A and B are shown apart, each in its own frame.
Chain A
């Protein structure tokens, strides 16, 4: 399965490009889906350790607001993206140092609490953040060239692709490294890890900072694509959405998050168009359906098909 994955990834990327060319209005949605997929990849790393963060939208919001604040003075995509990742990573490190002491529900709830703190700060300090109106992101450049109209949309789509591919590769390498393999140890019995001289907190901290970096990159791409940031990016339901996508896509493989994110965004767009008032209900039912009837998620279904193809 691991060997088939790069080919699947390549095929998936090619399919996305084809769709983006054929249906330009979907390009925007696919860009957002790729961005969310990156954040979900971070959630996946934590899920490997059995920990669910119900607050990772916080790091996406940090990435997004860094873009919004820095865009007027240095509006280059190639500067803003690393800057947003750096900011999210540093905050992730500071919070991670104490949050990795906690497990399970306390880990979930502390992340949730901190993201809600950020949410209300963004909402209440109107003078700086323009409250719930949000901030419009100033026009952007890439490598010194001004971006406008369809060109901007293509640049963002390509950026999302490249960043997604980069993190997909990083996550793949990381999960087979000793640090990544140790994550599963935290899930089963972490005391045993410590008997081997491995620091469980250290292992979790690395995953946590990586996941914060990924969410920060996702938030930056979302801000640069939608060109508007609001505190809702940090609201707890946004964090729930990320965990939702992780399960929808399937926690088994590193392609899962992207499969999940594309599926999620498409369901969302079509559900919103077909039944405007109950798109949330449609998503909820889709999630229930996946959990009850396809526990491996979209990735699990595809992996199952591939395995069957190989046997016959």
Chain B
């Protein structure tokens, strides 16, 4: 007798592996978005642009002639840090600082305008033709993953590197926020901005630091994604809505929660890719709607008391 698993087991295995790698990328982007929202209280629509620009920058930098093969990984990191360190402070200082006192609608729209500007800037620099540079994936080769008595060949880059970086980010970020002084200062501003400022914390500095860190994380997500896919205009727009879905599902201001939700949504999406391709784009939102119906504050968010 042939069961469903005999027929589709390998496909399921592949979907799980793919989902894991995908979830790692989604986590990198959404944790940055979440951090920025937690501290600045601004939902940054342009966050997806950092992802896209990080990806393009990594592909370009990796394509520079004469680089030794081993440099393909450091280049990814360098591109992301470069993009984040340039764009983050410029945007926070030049633009966001002017609108902290405004209504949320206005803040949302300022970042939406920024998204439009960056989207075209990216098209001007890198054009509209697909760009790809998969040196890193080819360099690391493939691994045979044993699964249900069979083997699935899968790229080492997606199997080890992506989840590895994501876990390192999660642990590093949790440690930084809870164990270091700067981290605790950031948490203090998140919890109660006024009280923190009254204690002598320089909120402006914290905003700048957090926004830059968020930009670097998004750019790193993009840079890490660049070897696994070909880059086309519109990846920024796709990424940002997916990250919105992740942080709204997780609950605002959650880091570990964002990781679990990214995993849930990443796996859900890739299972859909293999078994119900027409639902691929819908799955993350279905998960989000289902979660919010039951828990309006998100999976891990705390319910807020109603103000009178």
Chain A interfacial positions (CB closer than 8 Å to B):
47, 50, 52, 54, 98, 101-102, 104-106, 108-110, 112-114, 116-117, 119-121, 123-125, 189, 191-192, 236-237, 240, 243-244, 247, 277-281, 283-285, 287-288, 291-292, 295
Q: How far is the CB of A284 from chain B (nearest CB, A)?
A: 3
* In-complex Cβ contact of B120 among A121, A125, A281 (8 A): A281
Residue B22 is within 8 A (CB to CB) of chain A in the complex: no
Residue B124 is within 8 A (CB to CB) of chain A in the complex: yes
Most chain B CB neighbours (cut-off 10 Å) among A113, A281, A287, A295: A113
The answer to whether A113 touches B285, judged by C-beta atoms less than 8 angstroms apart, is yes
Interface residues of B in 250-288 (CB under 8 A from A): 252, 277-282, 285-286, 288
Please name all residues of chain B whose beta carbon is closer than 8 Å to the beta carbon of A105 when the two chains form the complex: 37, 43, 104, 248, 252
The answer to whether B104 touches A102, judged by C-beta atoms less than 8 angstroms apart, is no
Please name all residues of chain B whose beta carbon is closer than 8 Å to the beta carbon of A52 when the two chains form the complex: 104-105, 108
Distance of A116 Cα from B105 Cα, bound (Å): 20
* In-complex Cβ contact of A109 among B95, B244, B281 (8 A): B244
Q: How far is the CB of B194 from chain A (nearest CB, A)?
A: 19
Most chain B CB neighbours (cut-off 10 Å) among A121, A192, A237: A237
Residue B109 is within 8 A (CB to CB) of chain A in the complex: yes
Residue B51 is within 8 A (CB to CB) of chain A in the complex: no
Q: How far is the CB of B102 from chain A (nearest CB, A)?
A: 8
The answer to whether B117 touches A285, judged by C-beta atoms less than 8 angstroms apart, is yes
Distance of A112 Cα from B237 Cα, bound (Å): 12
* In-complex Cβ contact of A113 among B117, B252, B289 (8 A): B289
Please name all residues of chain A whose beta carbon is closer than 8 Å to the beta carbon of B277 when the two chains form the complex: 124
Please name all residues of chain B whose beta carbon is closer than 8 Å to the beta carbon of A109 when the two chains form the complex: 244-245, 248, 288
Distance of A112 Cα from B45 Cα, bound (Å): 12
The answer to whether B98 touches A292, judged by C-beta atoms less than 8 angstroms apart, is yes
Distance of A2 Cα from B1 Cα, bound (Å): 78
The answer to whether B108 touches A236, judged by C-beta atoms less than 8 angstroms apart, is no
Q: Please, could you name 24 A-B residue pairs with CB atoms under 8 Å apart, sorted by A?
A: A50-B104, A52-B105, A98-B293, A101-B296, A104-B104, A105-B43, A106-B292, A109-B245, A110-B248, A113-B245, A114-B285, A114-B289, A117-B289, A120-B280, A123-B281, A247-B106, A277-B120, A281-B117, A283-B116, A284-B113, A284-B120, A285-B117, A288-B110, A288-B114
Please name all residues of chain B whose beta carbon is closer than 8 Å to the beta carbon of A191 when the two chains form the complex: 306-308
Q: How far is the CB of B36 from chain A (nearest CB, A)?
A: 13
Please name all residues of chain B whose beta carbon is closer than 8 Å to the beta carbon of A120 when the two chains form the complex: 279-282
The answer to whether A284 touches B114, judged by C-beta atoms less than 8 angstroms apart, is yes
Known: A112-B244, A189-B308, A247-B106. A280 touches B292 (CB 8 A): no
Residue B50 is within 8 A (CB to CB) of chain A in the complex: no
Q: How far is the CB of A106 from chain B (nearest CB, A)?
A: 6
Please name all residues of chain B whose beta carbon is closer than 8 Å to the beta carbon of A119 when the two chains form the complex: 281
Residue B123 is within 8 A (CB to CB) of chain A in the complex: yes
Contacts between chains A and B (CB distance < 8 A), count: 128
Please name all residues of chain B whose beta carbon is closer than 8 Å to the beta carbon of A47 when the two chains form the complex: 105
Known: A50-B103, A191-B307, A277-B120. A285 touches B43 (CB 8 A): no
Q: How far is the CB of B53 from chain A (nearest CB, A)?
A: 14
Q: How far is the CB of B116 from chain A (nearest CB, A)?
A: 3
Distance of A121 Cα from B124 Cα, bound (Å): 31
A237's nearest neighbour on chain B, judged by CB, is: B237
Distance of A29 Cα from B285 Cα, bound (Å): 34
A247's nearest neighbour on chain B, judged by CB, is: B109
* In-complex Cβ contact of A121 among B103, B109, B282 (8 A): B282
Known: A50-B103, A113-B245, A292-B98. A280 touches B282 (CB 8 A): no
Chain B interface category by residue count: 35 or more
The answer to whether A192 touches B308, judged by C-beta atoms less than 8 angstroms apart, is yes
Most chain B CB neighbours (cut-off 10 Å) among A119, A123, A247, A283: A247
Q: How far is the CB of B195 from chain A (nearest CB, A)?
A: 22
Interface residues of B in 104-158 (CB under 8 A from A): 104-106, 108-110, 112-117, 119-121, 123-124
Residue B241 is within 8 A (CB to CB) of chain A in the complex: yes
* In-complex Cβ contact of B108 among A108, A114, A284, A285 (8 A): A108
Distance of A287 Cα from B114 Cα, bound (Å): 9
B128's nearest neighbour on chain A, judged by CB, is: A277
B278's nearest neighbour on chain A, judged by CB, is: A124
A109's nearest neighbour on chain B, judged by CB, is: B248
Distance of A191 Cα from B306 Cα, bound (Å): 8
Further 19 A-B residue pairs, CB within 8 A, beyond A244-B109, A247-B105: A105-B104, A106-B296, A109-B245, A113-B244, A116-B281, A117-B285, A120-B282, A124-B278, A124-B280, A189-B307, A236-B241, A244-B113, A247-B106, A277-B120, A280-B119, A281-B116, A281-B120, A288-B110, A292-B98
The answer to whether A243 touches B115, judged by C-beta atoms less than 8 angstroms apart, is no
Q: How far is the CB of A104 from chain B (nearest CB, A)?
A: 6
Residue B174 is within 8 A (CB to CB) of chain A in the complex: no
Please name all residues of chain B whose beta carbon is closer than 8 Å to the beta carbon of A247 when the two chains form the complex: 105-106, 109
The answer to whether A117 touches B120, judged by C-beta atoms less than 8 angstroms apart, is no
The answer to whether A244 touches B244, judged by C-beta atoms less than 8 angstroms apart, is no
Known: A288-B110, A291-B113. A277 touches B123 (CB 8 A): yes
